[in-house]
């Protein structure tokens, strides 16, 4: 594109980021986001989400958390895709504190993660003997978008 004096926009970069992540070249994708922050165009939520997904897919949760914090620090708003990429991996790693914060953040931003994603947090909290926090999450979800049937408190034996 640059050979034709056409500057690529953020959508062009995002397509490249998604391609890099699909090829499991997440570090290159992360470097491209760094380049975008330095040289433009400014990365958007989709840019950061691609890298978060990539890090999660290759099992690099700490890097995914860092990218999530960078997303917020750079003035981008996490969206449904952000939360649906990150929360299940946080649960798998047992990081229920951040998973719970992400759930509440998604609800306060009105970008509701799928009920199945929230159910993973509820189940994990119950399994970690944090049933009171799970109950609060279920109640908060019910006062928001989620129907009474979508989230359930498991009995402790079913998640152990």
Secondary structure of 88-140 in the HEC alphabet?
HHHHHCCCHHHHHHHHHHHHHCCCCCCHHHHHHHHHHHHHCCCHHHHHHHHHH
What pLDDT does 155 receive?
Answer: 76
**Is residue 34 left, alpha or beta, with left meaning phi > 0 and alpha meaning psi from -120 to 50?**
alpha
User: For the whole model, what pTM was predicted?
Assistant: 0.88
What is residue 160's predicted lDDT score, i.e. its pLDDT? 47
CA 64 to the chain's CA centroid: 8
Q: Are 20 and 32 in contact (CB under 8 A)?
A: yes
Helix (H) or strand (E) holding 33, with range, is: helix 26-39
Q: For position 154, what pLDDT does the model report?
A: 87
Residue 30 or residue 143, greater confidence: 30
Determine the straight-line distance between the first and last CA of the chain, rounded to whole angstroms.
Answer: 54
6: three-class secondary structure by DSSP: coil
Q: In this predicted model, what pLDDT tens digit does every residue of 142-159 receive, in sequence order?
A: 888 776 567 888 876 554
> Which 8-state DSSP code applies to residue 71?
H
The pLDDT, as a whole number, for residue 94 is 97
Mean pLDDT (the chain, rounded): 92
């Amino acid at each position: 594109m640059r050979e034709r004096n056409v500057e690529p926009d953020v959508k062009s970069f995002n397509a490249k980021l998604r391609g890099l992540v699909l090829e499991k070249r997440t570090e290159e994708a992360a470097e491209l986001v760094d380049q975008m922050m330095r040289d433009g165009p400014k990365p958007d939520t989709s840019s950061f989400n691609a890298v978060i997904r990539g890090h999660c897919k290759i099992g690099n949760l700490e890097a995914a958390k860092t990218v999530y914090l960078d997303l917020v620090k750079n003035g981008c708003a996490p969206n449904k895709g952000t939360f649906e990429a990150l929360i299940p991996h946080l649960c798998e790693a047992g990081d229920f504190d951040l998973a719970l914060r992400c759930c509440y953040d998604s609800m306060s931003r009105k970008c509701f993660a799928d009920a199945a994603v929230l159910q993973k947090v509820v189940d994990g909290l119950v399994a970690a003997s944090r049933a009171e926090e799970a109950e609060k999450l279920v109640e908060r979800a019910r006062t928001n978008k989620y129907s009474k049937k979508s989230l359930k408190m498991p009995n402790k034996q079913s998640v152990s």
